[in-house]
Structure 1
Amino acid sequence: MLELTLELFETEVIDSEKPVLIDWWGETCETCIALMPMVEEMSERYGDRLKFTKFNTSQKGVRRFCIKHKIMGLPVITIYQAGEKVAELTKEDITRDSLEELIKKYI
């Protein structure tokens, strides 16, 4: 999985020809960290058809960027396609089945 930064976001997400999954997480978010192995497993399974990335919201200077992308709480998993956010799962909605269903919708 590619670790996104502010500098990589436009190139790797907005300009991507493939749909992009972003796992928005934070260093102090225990739920985020617990979900990572599941997301990484999905990346191994579907990574040839969907670009898997993660964005650490604990990076310095990203607060406004996260607000701009409507990331108000964690964990959040989003799908971007053709430069636009087209789907989102939030903490209450993220399960193995819901994540796999979301991935299959965009591959």
Structure 2
Amino acid sequence: MVEVCVTGLQVFAQIGVHAHERGRTQLLSIDVTVTLDPPDADRLDASIDYQRIADDAEALGRAHINLIETFARRLATSCLAHPAARQVCVSVQKPGALRNGLAGTRVVLTRG
């Protein structure tokens, strides 16, 4: 197996359940690990494109989502759609959610 990793991806997203979070964007910090079969060719389409992961995360941030858990699950589902992907782990942290710490979630999806 091969792991393709994107770490520390910074995305501004319309996210949150509270009234003061609506109508504005908030910074999310995202880590993605996609486990896949080793590519059988030295071509990008045989692996996972890092830029596609970043683009998908930015696209998700354009529409309001209440929970970071939902954001993480949707991004993981998008990554798992690649035919070579076997497992996806998406961690999302919302730096501004707590005064004295970081709030976050981690979603792991495995192809059945």
Give TM-score, length-normalised by structure 1: 0.30
Task: Name the structure with the higher helix share.
Answer: 1
Structure with the greater alpha carbon radius of gyration: 2
Q: Which structure ranks higher in relative contact order (CA pairs < 8 Å, sequence separation ≥ 6)?
A: 1
